[in-house]
Amino acid sequence: MRKIIHIDMDYFYAQVEERDDPSLKVHPVAIGGPTKKQGVLCTANYKAREYGVRGGQSTYEAFKRCPQMLLIYPQFEKYKAISEQFLSVYQDYTDLIQKVGLDEVYLDVSESKACSGSAIKIAEEIKSRIFEGTGLTCSAGISVNKMLAKIASDWRKPNGIFAVLPSERESFMHTLPLKRIPGVGIVTLDKLKQAGFETAGDVVRSDISRLNLLMGEKKSIKLFQHCQGVCRDEVITHRPRKTVSYEKTYFSGLPYHALPKEVENVVQGLSLKLLELENFHFDDRSIVGLTLKVRNTDFRTFTRSVPLSPIESESLKRSKVISSQQTESLLAALSEFSSITIIRLLGVGVRFSDDKSQQIEMLI
């Protein structure tokens, strides 16, 4: 039987800033930017969340909800150094460590002898050591697979711990709202709700052929397994990203004429994600191009690629920030979507390659 722990730092970037400046604790605070009118948020403290402020929002939208909020531009080098402190704690319990970001990690402690092999005690000890060493709180989830551990870590946030034991898996999943299941996005959730599915139990009790008609065989089988609490994903210790993207959904629709401003905001969000990545994602690799994705109100998705020259690729690798020239190239690609009057989703991304030819070309 596997023993998986999911550790999720509580509002990590904002919590670090509160720790370093305790006067921030009485204010709504968000991390993001670069300005109140341009950019996106990485995260927000709980006081800001009381106003409906969330990570992923544009700063413009967030300040409409909470005009008095304090905005701090992220200091990723500081956050990365603190994340390394967490890693030194995890390594005392297992070598099977999968970092999802600076603030999130999966640990496979199935073979660990620490704490007499108790995953719950290991999680408690990790939480205690992180707080003693950094002054920061985290939440922990424990279960037999990655999916259940992730759901569990969110169960008693902030600074909580929760376990889904093997004997409790079926009863736990029975009443679990579908929105709690990782990978069930807004579009899928809407389809399922319209078909009468509200909980994981509703899905498990249904005929899978009905799900096949609703979302296709491959997706329906995966959803059916997840709703049973089944997940076979392994804890992967080191895997460079093939792509990195940032997307935003517009529930009430975004008119085409508003796209240029939104592209700039989404580009800021992508740059923040690139700055957050650890160096191994960039080492001995090239960034071969940018991608632009648009979805219309009929849920049809359109994509365009914007190639990068070797020099542009190397510059982006060094800075990890999308340049104004690259943003202009993305804006130029928008003209191909002019027939779409209302946008439901906008996304931008980068594509990595392990092919060394682009680096060699630069030296010739």
**Which residue ranges make up the annotated binding site for Mg(2+)?**
8, 103
Task: Mark the binding-site residues, compressed into ranges.
Answer: 8, 103
Q: What is the DSSP string of 9-46?
A: ETTHHHHHHHHH-GGGGGS-EEEEEE-SSSEEEEEE-H
Closest listed residue to residue 308, CA positions, set 351, 276, 246, 348:
351
CA distance 199 to 195: 12
CA distance 99 to 164: 21
CA distance 98 to 113: 19
Q: How far is CA 319 from CA 88, 215, 274, 282, 322, in A?
A: 27, 40, 9, 11, 8
Under DSSP, the state recorded for 277 is S
User: Per the residue annotation, which of 18, 50, 77, 104 is the catalytic one?
Assistant: 104
Does residue 17 carry a catalytic annotation? no
> For the CA atoms of the chain, what is the radius of gyration?
22
Tracing tokens 């950019």 back to the chain, one arrives at: 39
Find residue 33's DSSP bridge partners.
Answer: 40
Which amino acid would we find at residue 279?
A: N
Which residues are annotated as catalytic?
Answer: 104
